[in-house]
Copies of this chain bind each other. A is one copy, B any other.
Amino acid sequence: MPARLKDIAAELDLSVTTVSRALAGYSDVSPQTRARVLATAKAMGYVPDATARRLQKQRANVIGFIVPTFGPRFSDPFFSELLAGIGNEAARRSYDVLISTVAPGPAETDTYRRFIMSRSVDGMIVVRTRSDDARIALMLENEFPFVSFGRSANYSDFPWVDTDGMAGIRAAVDHLVSLGHRNIGYLRGPQELMFSVLRWQAFVRAMAENNLEINPEWIFHGDLSQGGGRTAANQLLDLSNRPSALLVGNDLMAMGAMTAVQQRNLVVGQDLSIIGFDDIGPAEHTHPPLTTIRQPIYYIATQVTSMLIQLLEDETLQQPQQLLTPELVLRGSTGPAPAIPDLT
């Protein structure tokens, strides 16, 4: 059993109160008493009971993060980087992270409710926001502190950090156009996700700005996974008239699409140019390396965490809503459009 306050008190023949105050650094404890207390506390390896302290202080010093897992083969680098950012920033500020894994859906909102109502956590971090987001609605209703990575369509007045998908997609389309591409396909993410919607809208607009038509045959939907990207790309490659470039809603699907292309002995960056979105770690390790729209996932994670902790500590946020401009990272998966246009 670990040492408790009363053990130290008994050892030194002091009251629990005095020991507590000595450790807390109160000024009304005599220097020598403090020294004695500190010494024995250290010797006994004393660490305060977190639960007791929480009950008394009415705060847990814990932030909650619910990971939307999609089955056993859950291996999205996006979440690893996110978790590293959240975890490291939380640790730096002496907070722990309580997580639960649950597939998106009604059970997910129940988990949020449980975390909030049981007072297990002081605040929540939300990611992969949806246009109509029940989690955000729940927390706004209950005035529960949270910060999200991503915006939402049905609520606007809450703290978030997000990447300007609009700017990113426009840069990507412009780049493809400058390489001579006119036939551009798009692989969308799930429609309920806010960023998917925003990126799609950006694509529509950017194409129009470049006086390019969107061919409905070249528009696909995927689930953000590598397998999903592969399936969609295979459908695209089965078409008799193909685009020369494909813009993809996230890197993981883009990587899957690359595999599909290569399995047909076509060359990515020549036969089909591919651009992803995120710049996850593995993106620079593909062959060829993936051209992508970079959003600083790790930085955003630390930022969101830092903002949440500021909120919890009653500091006001100078900038409760931050829209970051992404950067187009040019690598080998994009190249000039083939000189001879596709047969149509």
Contact = CB atoms under 8 A, between A and B. Distances in A.
A245 interface: no
A186 B114 CA distance: 49
A278 B117 CA distance: 40
A196 interface: no
B84 A74 contact: yes
* Copies of this chain, tallied across the complex: 2
Closest 8 CB pairs of A and B: A87-B101, A75-B77, A47-B117, A75-B281, A74-B84, A50-B118, A72-B298, A262-B287
A76 interface: yes
B113 A47 contact: yes
A324 interface: no
Interface of A: 2, 45-52, 54-55, 60, 62, 67, 69, 71-77, 79-81, 83-88, 90-91, 96-102, 111, 113-114, 116-120, 142, 226-227, 230, 255-256, 258-259, 262-263, 280-282, 285-287, 298-299
Q: Is the interface of A mostly helix, strand, loop or mixed?
A: helix
B98 A97 contact: yes
Contacts of A99: 83, 87, 96-99
Contact of A285 (B90, B120, B226): B226
- Which of A77, A142, A287: most chain B CB closer than 10 A? A287
B227 A256 contact: no
A4 to B, nearest CB: 10
A37 to B, nearest CB: 17
Contacts of A67: 83-84, 87
Given A87-B99, A98-B98, A119 B263 contact: no
- Which of A50, A71, A142, A226: most chain B CB closer than 10 A? A50
Contacts of A2: 116-117, 119, 142
Contact of A80 (B75, B88, B142, B258): B75
Given A67-B87, A101-B84, A298-B73, A285 B262 contact: no
A73 to B, nearest CB: 5
A71 B88 CA distance: 9
B287 A50 contact: no
A72 B85 contact: yes
B97 A84 contact: no
A97 B96 contact: no
15 contacts: A45-B113, A45-B117, A51-B55, A69-B88, A72-B81, A74-B83, A74-B84, A75-B77, A83-B99, A84-B101, A87-B101, A90-B100, A96-B100, A96-B120, A226-B281
Contact of A88 (B60, B62, B101): B101
Nearest to A280: B75
Given A97-B100, A258-B287, A81 B88 contact: no
Contacts of A142: 2
A54 B255 CA distance: 46
A28 B32 CA distance: 55
Given A80-B76, A101-B87, A287-B262, A47 B96 contact: no
A315 B35 CA distance: 44
B87 A81 contact: no
Contacts of A114: 47
